[in-house]
Structure 1
């Protein structure tokens, strides 16, 4: 005779918390932090916070349950060993950049992969995402692309009366020299 035990309320709450974060984050990155110090993890969290991301450590069994519940089964293969999860905010590229920079600075931090929306990402995909220009850089490029034709048009519009004035001045000089 087997008895079923209900999961403890604390664990149910943690799974619900993870599901909420997984469904609200546009991208999720999983990394291994084996051997990192507490101060190293705190510094990593601070850098990721600046990028609008949140970095948390959860029990793998609870994270796997939450990933299944959130429809992100693609994360299960990464949730092995001492893993941490980074939940990206609005700036997915900024979060990937911060995580990638931290992993270069600290070889104990290994990016395993993640998910962008519901699509799986390998570690190479996360690195490729980190190599993209940030949201601010893309907006600046876009603004520059919009501004260039306007500046050119303004220059042409200014040239028309200026050239007319030069031509008129040359005509007056020519008439006065002939007289």
Structure 2
């Protein structure tokens, strides 16, 4: 009967160690039954079981469950807190119970999946945020670069949308400004044409004023030439008369 009881106890501990996400061994020496029941109630709120175990049977069950460094967890009168959900919650509740009651409850160590944690590691685990909050923080850190990338990619599109919206809102004003600008361009072109005609008129007047001067010079140059020509004709006529008179004298002498 005793052997059968021990076999069942080992199988039960082995099953709990295999199914639990964390199993924390705590030495409860010096605690009363009422204080242990208070601890059980606090742990039960988070679906954590607290069971007092015999170290010899617990060592056998832990080894059969594939745990290592089992002697660290089972030291002295030991109770084991089996957690099946968030592994942080059992460690947090035990640490809070020790801090608030100041009872001589000491954490030996823990089995968390395939690892064996020391008492210091369990206390560090108790200071972490809950698992859901850790996942949210991790997802936020993972999504931050993606959000920044999307912001950078959407920035040109948003700028274009803003520009188009302003164009739509200022559509009437824009057409009026275009009409004003076209009218001002026409006025400036007419003014430039008027300015260009004035220099042309002044140039024509200057040409007309200077035109008679060359004609007078030509006339003045032509007058001396005519006088010279008349003098040449007179000299030729005189020479002909002289030659005629000379011939007449020679004829008279010959007669």
CA contact under 8 A between 2:69 and 2:116: conserved in structure 1? yes
Counterpart position of 1:170 = 170
User: Which of 43, 47, 63 is matched with 2:38 structurally?
Assistant: 43
Displacement of 1:30 in angstroms is 0.7
Counterpart position of 2:47 = 52
Displacement of 1:20 in angstroms is 0.7
Distance 1:143 1:7, change over 3 A: same
Deviations 1:60-104 (A, max 9, x none): 222122222223241223322221111121211222222222222
Where does structure 2 lack aligned partners over 5 or more consecutive residues? 180-255
Q: Secondary structure at the match of 1:34?
A: coil
Q: Secondary structure at the match of 2:53?
A: coil
User: Which of 18, 21, 32 is matched with 2:16 structurally?
Assistant: 21
Deviations 1:104-151 (A, max 9, x none): 223322111112223221111111222222211023224545388299
Counterpart position of 1:149 = 147
CA contact under 8 A between 2:25 and 2:108: conserved in structure 1? yes
Counterpart position of 2:114 = 118
Q: Secondary structure at the match of 2:170?
A: helix
Q: Higher helix share goes to which structure?
A: 2
Counterpart position of 2:90 = 95
Distance 1:173 1:143, change over 3 A: farther
TM score, norm. by length of structure 2: 0.57
The number of residue pairs the alignment matches comes to 174
CA contact under 8 A between 1:103 and 1:111: conserved in structure 2? no
Counterpart position of 1:161 = 161
CA contact under 8 A between 1:47 and 1:98: conserved in structure 2? yes
Q: Secondary structure at the match of 2:69?
A: helix
Kindly name which structure, 1 or 2, has the bigger radius of gyration based on alpha carbons.
2
Distance 1:46 1:175, change over 3 A: farther
**Greater relative CO, 1 or 2 (CA 8 Å, sep 6+):** 1
Confirm whether residue 140 of structure 1 aligns to residue 125 of structure 2: no
